[in-house]
Chain A
Amino acid sequence: DVKVTQSSRYLVKRTGEKVFLECVQDMDHENMFWYRQDPGLGLRLIYFSYDVKMKEKGDIPEGYSVSREKKERFSLILESASTNQTSMYLCASSLSGVSYNEQFFGPGTRLTVL
């Protein structure tokens, strides 16, 4: 079974803090994704990575950056947290290829920025 883990289930930070969200997958997947989920807006893609040290912007990258130094780990960074970044953050991974492959999700991190 694919396992995708996220470093924290719940996180509370203050405005202006630098925040790191970590995601690790154990199935040697090439692709990794960061989404945020908000009521009424569904899941929106922030960034994704298709290989180590490679990254691509998703639909809402503003205020975020990412790091992929190792294949199994994909980090989401909030350079200066703001209250509008309070959300549920979900990480996912999948095999590579032009054909879409099944995405597997982590348990999510509920981030509150005060």
Chain B
Amino acid sequence: KQEVTQIPAALSVPEGENLVLNCSFTDSAIYNLQWFRQDPGKGLTSLLLIQSSQREQTSGRLNASLDKSSGRSTLYIAASQPGDSATYLCAVATLSGGYQKVTFGTGTKLQVIP
């Protein structure tokens, strides 16, 4: 059974700092890994999707890496801003019973202090 862990559960940084969020998973036979952002009381917004054959994806100030063999992904946020404050979730997709199954981590709550 796939298990996804995100450490730390919460992180507070001053504005302008570069930071890294971590995601680890137990079953390396994944199809893809997706990073999401969730604002309080809202739905999930997709940030980056890394296919299993890829090592990283970039979008603006965000860079996500994937190391399947070690069961790890990182989300790098450059020059953090107060607007980046949110909970960040990673989700790992595997094949289960012929269907795609997605397992979510419990998230890292990020606070960027002005």
Q: Which of A61-69, A70-78, A94-102 is the contact stretch? A: A94-102
- Closest CB-CB distance, A108 to chain B, in whole Å? 5
- How many residues of chain B are within 8 Å of chain A by beta carbon? 25
- Closest CB-CB distance, B78 to chain A, in whole Å? 23
User: With contacts A42-B107, A43-B89, A98-B95 known, is A103 near B102, CB below 8 A?
Assistant: yes
- Chain A contact residues, CB within 8 Å of chain B: 4, 31, 33, 40-43, 45, 48, 50, 56, 88, 90, 92, 94, 98-108, 110
With a 10 A CB-CB cut-off, give which of A4, A31, A33, A43 has the most chain B CB atoms: A43
| Chain B residues positioned under 8 Å from A105 (CB to CB) | 36, 43-46
Q: Which of B67-112 contact A (CB under 8 A)?
A: 89, 91, 93, 95, 97, 99-102, 104-107
**Among A56, A98, A102, A107, contact of B34 (Cβ-Cβ < 8 Å):** A102
Flag whether B63 is at the interface (Cβ < 8 A).
Answer: no
In the complex, which residue of chain A has the Cβ closest to the Cβ of B92? A100
Please measure, in the bound complex, the distance between the C-alpha atom of A42 and the C-alpha atom of B5, giving whole angstroms: 11
Please measure, in the bound complex, the distance between the C-alpha atom of A103 and the C-alpha atom of B31, giving whole angstroms: 13
| Chain B residues positioned under 8 Å from A56 (CB to CB) | 97, 99
